[in-house]
Amino acid sequence: MTLDATPASTHRFRRNLARQLRIWSGVVIALVFLFPIFWMVLTSFKMPKDIFTTPPTFFFQPTIDTYVEYIWRADIPRRLLNTVIVSFGSALISIVAGGMAGYALARLRIRGAGFLGTLLLLSRGVPPIALAVPMFLVARKFGLTDKHITLILAYCTFLIPYVMWLMRGFFLALPKELEESAMIDGCSRFGAFIKIIVPIAMPGILSTLIFSVILAWEELLFALVLTNRNASTVPVAMAGIAGDTVNGANWGALTAVGTLMVVPVVIFALLVQKWLVQGLADGATKG
């Protein structure tokens, strides 16, 4: 008598097959998304003659000449510092303001809160170009062009509604009895928010912070319009390189600067990754 064809073994085979399929689907999707980045990094170490070979080559004599040349020519260190300042500055301000606004929308009984929230979200539907020019005029009027704070405030206009809606979702998922309990235990509403809700929502806050930093990090239009030299960011440098087509597109420089732009964000994401653990709220309530 053989047991190979029993329903249990068939079920086990199907379960294993489904698991393998899930794993390999994940691998394929990851490869599709990571390949352009891999290719960018690879190209950045190629000499111009190796960039457009047919077929494309994976093996070549690597060089850092492009990096050495463009780090200084495109003023990357200062621009990278500017990018760090404006992206983290705007993300932090947006997390504080948008987080508190999201909490208010999630918890407080405010007349018209839903409408207000929707209005703020709809503001994201306005094309940035329509805002960039008026912003430039306002900044020029106040003598604030080419300053970090101008770009930070400009970025806050699109980051705060984004943060507010994301954080609202996180706060809605937390039982309101947590802060009610804290308020009975001796906290004010704000105290309960800071001491109880913020630590519990930290994974959500950090993931929102990462997305906000990335959104600000890669922003080009406002940076192009509102900055000139002092507060200029890396995407502006990349736009400059891409626009310099006298001798054809400089792919080596573009990929080198692109790699320099990506590396800090990846390092930041890896650093905060351990804080992004989910399930911290497990055990808060019944279960």
Residues that bind other proteins (CB under 8 A): 175, 177-178, 180-188, 191, 196, 199-200, 279-287
Q: What percent of the chain is helix, strand and coil (3-state, nearest 5)?
A: 75, 0, 25
CB of 191 to other proteins, least distance (A): 8
Question: Measured between alpha carbons, how far is 202 from 208 in angstroms, rounded to an integer?
Answer: 10
Residue with smaller CB distance to other proteins, 49 or 274 = 274
Instruction: Specify the amino acid at residue 74.
Output: A
User: In terms of C-beta distances under 8 Å and separation of at least 24 residues, what long-range contacts does 60-67 make, across chains too?
Assistant: 66/252, 66/253, 66/255, 66/256, 67/256, 67/260
Residue 203: name the closest of 254, 179, 167, 231 by CA.
Answer: 167
CB 195, min distance to other proteins, A: 8
- What's the min distance (Å) between Cβ of 185 and other proteins? 4
Shortest Å, Cβ 204 to other proteins? 13
3-state SS of 111-153 is CCHHHHHHHHHHHHHCCHHHHHHHHHHHHHHCCCCCCHHHHHH
- Provide the 3-class DSSP secondary structure of residue 53: coil
> Closest CB to other proteins among 84 and 281?
281
Give the nearer residue to other proteins in terms of CB position, either 91 or 201: 201
Nearer to other proteins, 141 or 286 (CB): 286
Cβ at position 91, least distance to other proteins in Å: 23
The identity of residue 57, as a single letter, is T
CB nearer to other proteins: give 55 or 283. Answer: 283
CB nearer other proteins, residue 52 or residue 190: 190
CB of 273 to other proteins, least distance (A): 19
AA letter at 113: A
Q: Which two tokens stand for residue 35?
A: 């390949």
